[in-house]
Structure 1
Amino acid sequence: MREVLQPEDLGATPAQAAVLRGFVVDGRLQRMPAQHSKRLVVLDFLAQRFEPGVRYREAEVNDRLLAFHSDFATLRRALVDEGFLERRDGAYWRAGGTFEVS
């Protein structure tokens, strides 16, 4: 029997996991939440897949998002629109979301 991934297995905080359980099944995003506050939790979780201070080519962003959903373009657009990623001259970088402080 295959182990089912839970949001916590993917690095979600307990608060994120409480929301993500309704939208992420076995590590894959099934649908985007309609409620804006929940959508922001999902986008924040996705933004954490990108290291602060690192610039990514569009293909790299697409590959990372494809791991969570086949419509990576919509996810990429939402991350930019909500300020989690910035984009300029074909490069993307993390611009928002929660950061782990050590």
Structure 2
Amino acid sequence: MDFQSLTVTELKQGYQYRSQEAVYVCNYCQQTFETGRVYQFAEEMFLGKQAVEWHISEEHGGNFLQLLSNESKYNTLTDKQKQLLSAFQSGKKDAQIAEEMNVSHSTIRHQKFSFREKAKQAKLYLAIYENAFLGHLQEEIIPIHNGATMVDERYFMTIEEREQIINENFESLHPLKLKRLPKKEKKKIAILSRIIKEFVTGRTYGEDEIKEILVGIYDDYVTIRRYLIDYGYMNRTPDGKAYWVND
């Protein structure tokens, strides 16, 4: 899940709505559900919005579980905190949670208070951040992708910088065709961030499929493939037979 491109509301509900296509899209597998269309699951019938909600609940174990278990570097919750949040989300009474975790009732109350305080801090920070950068989107630093390796200044660039690098080094974006592969690391990262969009998250690719896609983009596909792995945009099995996008 590319959660960095989603709004807080989209993260909370587990899906996004694309108005131009009139579809609801699952954040976790990108399955779409059309507005106004009736979907049947088991013996029940659902319209688009209800269908994607049912899908997330039944196919992904619920949005809460997916968010809690997300392996992004931004999920800094400890195992104990995750255990507590799961217990709170289940609706259990504080006394029951305290007994199950072998702690005092007051400890559970204190932990609940701490979670609320962190939420307030996060809400205030988000409001301040969005006000600070409102109207300056072109100067906003692009979020670093989850699989990034050896994170340093190479990864810090604005939307405007990335677009300029892409325009200078690709002779065509539709279809994608790379003119040259620059030596500067920052430019390589910008180019790789565009190339990875040619692959579908959640899908496994064979070695021949990877070659076919990359050859169409750049003659030295082996180098591009190696960089996609080295810079954490893709993963592969040890034998190099299967590849997938690192989300």
State the TM-score, normalizing by the size of structure 1.
0.73
- Give, as a single letter, the amino acid of the residue that structure 2 aligns with 1:20: I
For 1:17, the equivalent position in structure 2 comes to 163
For 2:177, the equivalent position in structure 1 comes to 28
For 1:52, the equivalent position in structure 2 comes to 201
Matched residue count: 83
CA shift, 1:17, in A, is 3.1
Measure the CA separation in 2 of the matches of 1:61 and 1:46. Answer: 12
For 2:245, the equivalent position in structure 1 comes to 94
Match of 2:218 among 43, 54, 69: 69
User: Quick check: which has more Rg, 1 or 2?
Assistant: 2
Q: Which 10-residue stretch deviates more, 75-84 or 25-34? A: 25-34
CA shift, 1:25, in A, is 1.2
Measure the CA separation in 2 of the matches of 1:80 and 1:93. Answer: 10
Q: Which 10-residue stretch deviates more, 27-36 or 14-23? A: 14-23
Measure the CA separation in 2 of the matches of 1:41 and 1:62. Answer: 21
Structure 2, unpaired ranges of 5+: 1-158
More helix by proportion, 1 or 2?
A: 2
Measure the CA separation in 1 of the matches of 2:164 and 2:190. Answer: 10
- Give, as a single letter, the amino acid of the residue that structure 1 aligns with 2:207: E
- Give, as a single letter, the amino acid of the residue that structure 1 aligns with 2:191: V
- Give, as a single letter, the amino acid of the residue that structure 1 aligns with 2:234: L
Secondary structure at the counterpart of residue 52 of structure 1: coil
Secondary structure at the counterpart of residue 168 of structure 2: coil
Measure the CA separation in 2 of the matches of 1:48 and 1:92. Answer: 14
Task: Give the 4+ runs in structure 1 shifted more than 4 A.
Answer: none
For 1:42, the equivalent position in structure 2 comes to 191
Secondary structure at the counterpart of residue 32 of structure 1: coil
